[in-house]
Amino acid sequence: MSNCLVMLTKRYPYGIGEEFIENELPVVAREFDRVILIATSVSGPAVPTRAVPGNVEPHAVDAGRIRRSVPFAALGPALAPPKEAYGPAERAAVAHSPLRRLFFAYFAAKGRAVAKAAAAVLAGAGFSRGDRVVFYSYWLYDTAAAAVGLREACRAGQTRAVSRAHRYDLYPSKNPLGYLPMRPYLLKNL
């Protein structure tokens, strides 16, 4: 039985930012046989700028590819929101705001696009029914929605999706629209 962590970040270990991961990763990596680290918003050449422990496999997803796919993909959630993520609380939050409705559609589409790109990275991971896999999003944002989607699609024996939260992705009041999409769905599924 293999114990694997799939960690979704924005840019770490490529470029700058997400410095807290640098201190956290060595501690977390000791608890897993394997850590697959997927940076989901890397622009330009994917060259790691920071060292990672030996059992960590860094991968990068091209931010441009995600950015190009989201506008068209957002049409689906805009016209027919996904039922699992569009419950009564979500409907009430977007009911009188076209901008919030568009933000919801963008967020749902981006979460799916990130999950699809991460799934392509994981296609050769070789998870089996006896494995334990934890999908960990460093942000309670589109990568958290992707972690939930990856967990639901994973064929490993034991799976879990978790997320860390920060100020901007935790408090709706910190968002210009006063709204964070899919909160009830994420809290129920993480």
To 10 degrees, the CA torsion angle through 89, 108, 9, 62?
A: -170
Number of CB atoms found within 10 A of residue 15's CB: 19
Asked whether residue 37 carries a pLDDT value surpassing 80, the answer given is yes
As a whole number, mean pLDDT of residues 23-35 equals 96
User: How do residues 87-124 score in pLDDT, each as one tens digit?
Assistant: 899 989 999 999 999 999 999 999 999 999 999 999 87
Single pTM value for the model:
0.92
As a whole number, mean pLDDT of residues 59-64 equals 90
Q: Is 78 exposed, middle or buried (0-12, 13-18, 19+ CB in 10 A)?
A: middle
* Closest alpha carbon to 134 in 14, 15, 3, 24: 3
The answer to whether residues 80 and 108 touch, using CB atoms and an 8 Å cutoff, is: no
Name all domains of the chain by residue range, CATH numbers in brackets.
Answer: 3-63+115-189 (3.40.50)
